[in-house]
Structure 1
Amino acid sequence: MPALKFAQLRYLALILVAWLTLFTLTRSVLLLGHLGEADLGLSELARLYATGLGYDLGFVCYAALPLAFYLLLCPRRIWQQRWHRGMLHAVVAVSLFAMLFTAVAEWLFWDEFGVRFNFIAVDYLVYSDEVINNILESYPIYPLLAALAVIAVVAAVLLRKATSAALNAPLLSWRDSTWVAAGFVLTACVSSLLLNQDFPRGSDGNAYQRELASNGPYQFFAAFRNNELDYPQFYAALEQNEIGKQLRAELGEPNARFIGSDPLDIRRVIDNPGQVQRRNVVLVTIESLSAKYLGSFGDSRNLTPNLDSLRQQSLFFSQFYASGTRTDRGLEAISLSIPPTPGRSIVKRIGRESGFASLGQQFQALGYDSAFVYGGRGYFDNMNAFFSGNGYRVVDQSSVAEQDIHFKNAWGMSDEDLYSQTLKLADADHATGKPFYLQLMTTSNHRPYTYPSGRIDIPSGDGREGAVKYTDHAIGQFLEQARQKPWFANTLFVFVADHTAGSAGTEDLPVANYHIPLFIYAPGFIEPGEHAGLASQIDLAPTLLGLLNVDYTSTFFGRNVLRADAAPGRALIGNYQHLGLFDGHDLAILSPRKSMRRHDDALGASHESRATASDPLVKRNITYYQGASYDFSHHLLDWQQPAATYSERLAAAPAQVQPQSEDPAHAL
């Protein structure tokens, strides 16, 4: 091209071609690892690379702007200086290092999550302390960086002749440089209009194909920009009165009386029959515990002997699903009983993360000590602000004396240290005669998968398998210690995962990859059994309050699934873009650009097809997510202090109540 005879453009082209080449190589390496899942024919392969080139060009249009402006506007007298030429040679080496670093980071991120950079990567940038320590503990990062630096320098030396030739070419005139700079700005503006996170790959089809066609750095900045998505702007919506009627039909039950005047206000009085049970509650949210790891679900590695035994002693939910793919989504669903609205979770919406009618608020109003107990540092994922603003006191790693922490890694103290602190908190509350609700969040089942040595037969840091087995070991030890406590017989223990170990698949929302276990264990109060009905994390709070026969004012989108008259189950699952409703057989998905789809036989062949809002399953899906987004934005989920009769009823309740097997909630 004649334009490339000029020094500024030749030099810039050299770097941009290197970026485009590395992007293509990265895409190819990732593709080779997933040829089977991507299910590519020749036409799909060509479209994948063509789409990928569009994304790659879109990214370099933005990324090249600072360097392009400098090259085009640099005065001639500086350009000719020896030091300046040396600096531009060094820029080539630094740029090559940045390219290689990005490629390796993409590969590691893909290996962990099965997707390009996305919302998770944005969060990891925000919480850099935990993430950097996690990386340092998980990978030989310093030798890796040194190797990348050596490769970058060697490549820059090999390109030295081409770089010198570019720098020795004639320079553009000042006038032409101005026009070219304006052209770069125009190209970037056009790129921003033509490209978005889904263009032109769409929302349909094979998820691996779409992810491979993407550009990681482009998706990172797009996710950073779109950290909150306005539901009416991006998703299919229905008329509010229609949604209101459907929503009340979904959430209505004989013991519920709606009291809100807004058509979409779900605030209702729940009248649970029977004497309120004055029971302690310990709710353990377990990091990344997929149901597939349990031996009772078919895993043959004997990783979960304690949980497999607990399944026989508990009320166990065999068709229970996580709401999202991150810890903050699990905590949101369990605490607020709300579907995973698009964009970032409510837990992390700084300035709008407090004041909700949470499960902690409900227990606090009953006179309980409501505490959130976290193995790590509670500023991560904005947990401290969320829980302290929604009826909990927070106990995290910073609240624990250093001598009481016997093992910790990048994410926090070991599970057994967390459980030791929990026992102390329960002992202290019991000594004062105060019932307690302790909501725990563990950390050990997470990369770098390290834990105290000598606990299990798998070495620390050896991978997910060892972390799962240690997690199970710590639970067994915790329950054994709790059984020796005077408050044990009057306590419900709830064990549930925050999310699964991985949610990537050939579909946007692979239902099987959201499957998690739920145990409710209370010997002498909850009869062992199995609840095979479909449920998800948003159903946990109302089900738990139902077991305790608590009357309360609810803003929960979940239902007490143990009632004999409970409606057929459904699971609300999603990620920050795609929003799904699974009815036990089929799945409806809402996506940006008002896309609507359904997957028939979602756990089997999963036939995907386009759908409309007239489809009953899609309409139910819209109902939940449009309703939740509306209620959140209109403060219809806010906490309102209940009448004093809450605590009065609790005070009048006996400290312990014998099992009532005739109650449908217990006779399972």
Structure 2
Amino acid sequence: MGWLRSRRLHYFLGGVAIVFVLLLLLRTIFLIGFSAVSPGEDHSWPLVLETLGVGVRFDLRLAILLMLPVMLLAWLPVWNSLRSSVLRWVGRLYLIIALAIVLLMYIIDFGHYAYLGVRLNASALKFIADAQISQQMLWETYPVVWITLAWLALLLITVGALIGLERLTFNRPAIRIGLWSRVWGSALMVVLVFLAILGRYTNINLENPVPLRWSDAFFAGDTQLGALGLNPVIFFYDTLAVPQQRYDLEQVRRHYPQVSEYLGVAEPHIEKLTLSRQVPQQPHRLAGDKRPNVIFVMLESLGTTAVGAYGNPLQPTPNLDRLAKESWFFRHFYVPVTGTAKTVWASITGIPDVSRQETATRNPLITRQHSLVNALEGYHKVYTIGGNAGWANMSALIRQSIDGVQLYEEGGWKAENVDVWGISDLDLFKETDEILRELPKDKPFFAYIQTAGHHRPYTIPPENDGFEVIDRPLEEVQAAGSQSVAQYNAVRLLDFNIGRLMELAEEGGYLNNTIFVMFGDHNTRIANIDYMKPAFEKLGLESNNVPLLIYAPGLLQPREFDEAVGLADLLPTVASLLGFEYENRTMGRDLLQPAPEGERVVPLVLREGSFPLIGAVTQDFLLQMNYDGTEPSLHDLDSDTPLDNVAEQHPEEYQRLLPLARGLYETSHYMLYENVRD
């Protein structure tokens, strides 16, 4: 235990404790003086304490990160701050500057929250553009002199305490510590520091450790309560990745006439950019006094190429194939952008996630969206995922956008994890079924089940209700749309589990009173598939083209849809089927309503990154262009040479799709921010 007497260790732990106490003091000041949370009145004490617990873990992370550079100076092998007064002063100067900046950010955060009701974030940088006006406003509004004195006092007290700690520990006579004691002591400290920075101490998935993120502060879905759990310095850093130029307002206005017509805006107004529509109760609503349940099943990485009903010759999906014959079956269904978090976003918000950096779920300024899930009044709302919903900060969107949602994720399941993505899909279906059966029967439920099994590493769990792996030649499965034999069997397992879900629903007594909306997340690209149209591979459409089945055996008659439809259309269609009146502020449209543009058009992003390739697709054509509108071209999806530009052969279709491709893309950017709830 000799390592416990280390001077460096004592200084590090003491320094972290001093900074941590300072941050706790600042958090207390925020709670008492600035927070809109009133414990015991508007918010229960358990929720407030749990939120504060999240914030305290952020504070500990920041305290450790602030002290690490000083400790690196102390742990240098030969020339270090224990032996060199120069390095000690370097460390002191760093602490003075770092703590001065941190304290200043807290002061700005307090004023920012008091004025706008939002914690400090990167959007505050816009005030730099009007620095003189902002400076004068601050001087005339706030007691700047007293605030400056308080800032200096806190800084001097904290730095003085740290310098005193340094002298108390570094100037102490050295004690020789044995090699093995240093080795295992150092290893233990690395683990403890890692866990403290990670911010999670239970149910840690070592294969995919998800650190504590800003979205965890919003676990209750309450914006004011969530603000209490943020750390302004860490939150400001997280929001620096958010692009400051939100959207191109000029382009939104330029294409507003076409987009407003596309959306069916009753009273378009180009100055106000009106996009919302009041949708009355539709004549095609389902009959009956009791509204049915709704279950969305997101099928991870499942494209049309893997499904027998869409032409796969190996027919690895007998359950989906059977359901397709008994469902509303959509042959030309597209997700607007590939990627799991982007699919979750569009399915919940009705807006394509056209963010160029990261995903919209990672942008803390826009995750509280208006969602048509909330139009389903009187419904229990449940979201289940086998892994951690904090991945890509999806939990922030789910909790903040769906009122009263019950989110079940990794750490809350009875089953054990089978891989990096959490429990198996079969266990997810079984435990979700238990949750749904136990819900009070006073009202129907809306459930969203997010699968993950059809994803690398394509795990086949040992407990799988008798599912058997089939070993086929690699060439055979690749010719049929799978990249490997493991992926082929993962498709089969996903289909097997869908069959089990239907059996569980029948046993639970809700099969015939439920609308199942089963849709692919995205597709994995694969080349040289004979049963696909050449256009899908050569133009990259196979990544966006995924299956969609709306299955309701006791409610809907089988029907096949040939027009192109998109992910954003799901919630408006379901809300109309259920007979709700609702306000639609997004890109989605009821699929049973005629499309104002004629044959339906679906917006797509075909290539992501800093210079996206965007498009508008119909049943027969794709118009694609660069994100800035350059190099547009029209392509025939039924052609054997789909790369040919057929704009001259089909000038009317070209002129119809040209403004929609750019307009829907630019308007989606606009909607991401304008659909945010107050």
Both structures adopt the same fold (TM-score exceeding 0.5): yes
The answer to whether the aligner puts 1:249 opposite 2:288 as a matched pair is no
Q: Which amino acid aligns with 1:621?
A: A
Match of 2:520 in 1: 497
* Residues 353-372 of structure 1: pairs in structure 2 closer than 5 A: 353-363=366-376, 366-372=377-383
Match of 1:273 in 2: 282
Match of 2:661 in 1: 621
- Tell me the distance in 2 between the aligned counterparts of 1:519 and 1:345: 29
- Other structure's SS at 1:581 match: strand
Match of 1:349 in 2: 362
- Tell me the distance in 2 between the aligned counterparts of 1:281 and 1:578: 35
The answer to whether the aligner puts 1:474 opposite 2:504 as a matched pair is no
Cα 1:420/1:506, change in 2 over 3 Å:
closer
Contact 1:397 1:413 (C-alpha < 8 Å) held by counterparts: no
Match of 2:423 in 1: 413
Q: Which amino acid aligns with 2:665?
A: Y
Contact 2:282 2:577 (C-alpha < 8 Å) held by counterparts: no
Q: Which amino acid aligns with 2:450?
A: M
- Tell me the distance in 2 between the aligned counterparts of 1:492 and 1:631: 28
Contact 2:522 2:543 (C-alpha < 8 Å) held by counterparts: no
Q: Which amino acid aligns with 2:444?
A: P
Contact 1:288 1:497 (C-alpha < 8 Å) held by counterparts: yes
- Tell me the distance in 1 between the aligned counterparts of 2:633 and 2:395: 38
Question: Aligned Cα RMSD in Å?
Answer: 3.6
Gaps of 5+ in 1: 1-125, 136-223, 641-668
Contact 1:509 1:578 (C-alpha < 8 Å) held by counterparts: no
Cα-to-partner distance string for 1:543-597 (whole Å, 9 max, x where unaligned) = 1212222210011212112235774212222143222211233323343565342
- Other structure's SS at 1:412 match: coil
What displacement does 1:341 show? 1.6
The answer to whether the aligner puts 1:395 opposite 2:395 as a matched pair is no
- Tell me the distance in 1 between the aligned counterparts of 2:259 and 2:328: 29
Match of 1:571 in 2: 602
- Tell me the distance in 1 between the aligned counterparts of 2:387 and 2:335: 21
* Residues 513-532 of structure 1: pairs in structure 2 closer than 5 A: 513-532=543-562
What displacement does 1:394 show? 4.7
The answer to whether the aligner puts 1:587 opposite 2:622 as a matched pair is yes
* Residues 139-538 of structure 1: pairs in structure 2 closer than 5 A: 228=243, 230=245, 240-252=252-264, 257-258=266-267, 262-274=271-283, 278-344=291-357, 347-363=360-376, 366-391=377-402, 393-401=405-413, 404-406=414-416, 408-429=418-439, 431-453=440-462, 455-458=466-469, 463-502=486-525, 510-538=540-568
Q: Which amino acid aligns with 1:375?
A: G
Contact 2:615 2:624 (C-alpha < 8 Å) held by counterparts: yes
Cα-to-partner distance string for 1:239-295 (whole Å, 9 max, x where unaligned) = 55442221111011xxx6458785433111011324676111010001001111111
- Tell me the distance in 2 between the aligned counterparts of 1:314 and 1:507: 27
Cα-to-partner distance string for 1:386-427 (whole Å, 9 max, x where unaligned) = 1101015253433524xx215521111111111112212211
Gaps of 5+ in 2: 1-197, 210-238, 472-483, 528-534
What displacement does 1:632 show? 2.7
Q: Which amino acid aligns with 1:629?
A: H
- Other structure's SS at 1:371 match: strand
Cα-to-partner distance string for 1:133-171 (whole Å, 9 max, x where unaligned) = 379xxxxxxxxxxxxxxxxxxxxxxxxxxxxxxxxxxxx
Q: Which amino acid aligns with 2:409?
A: Q
- Other structure's SS at 1:494 match: strand
Q: What is the aligned residue count?
A: 414
Give the alignment's TM-score, normalised by structure 1.
0.56
Q: Which amino acid aligns with 2:380?
A: D
What displacement does 1:450 show? 0.4
- Other structure's SS at 1:483 match: helix
- Other structure's SS at 1:426 match: helix
- Other structure's SS at 1:588 match: strand
Give the alignment's TM-score, normalised by structure 2.
0.55
Contact 1:329 1:345 (C-alpha < 8 Å) held by counterparts: no
Contact 1:243 1:264 (C-alpha < 8 Å) held by counterparts: no
What displacement does 1:512 show? 3.4
- Other structure's SS at 1:332 match: helix
Cα 1:477/1:616, change in 2 over 3 Å:
same
Cα 1:506/1:248, change in 2 over 3 Å:
closer
* Residues 3-22 of structure 1: pairs in structure 2 closer than 5 A: none
Match of 2:676 in 1: 638
Contact 1:449 1:463 (C-alpha < 8 Å) held by counterparts: yes
What displacement does 1:615 show? 4.1
What displacement does 1:309 show? 0.7
- Other structure's SS at 2:438 match: helix
- Tell me the distance in 2 between the aligned counterparts of 1:368 and 1:293: 34
Contact 2:300 2:451 (C-alpha < 8 Å) held by counterparts: yes
- Other structure's SS at 2:507 match: coil
Contact 1:259 1:268 (C-alpha < 8 Å) held by counterparts: no
Q: Which amino acid aligns with 2:558?
A: P
What displacement does 1:368 show? 1.3
Cα 1:614/1:398, change in 2 over 3 Å:
closer
The answer to whether the aligner puts 1:606 opposite 2:637 as a matched pair is no
Cα 1:278/1:230, change in 2 over 3 Å:
same
What displacement does 1:353 show? 3.5
Contact 1:347 1:386 (C-alpha < 8 Å) held by counterparts: no
Cα-to-partner distance string for 1:352-402 (whole Å, 9 max, x where unaligned) = 232211133222xx121222211110110111111101015253433524x
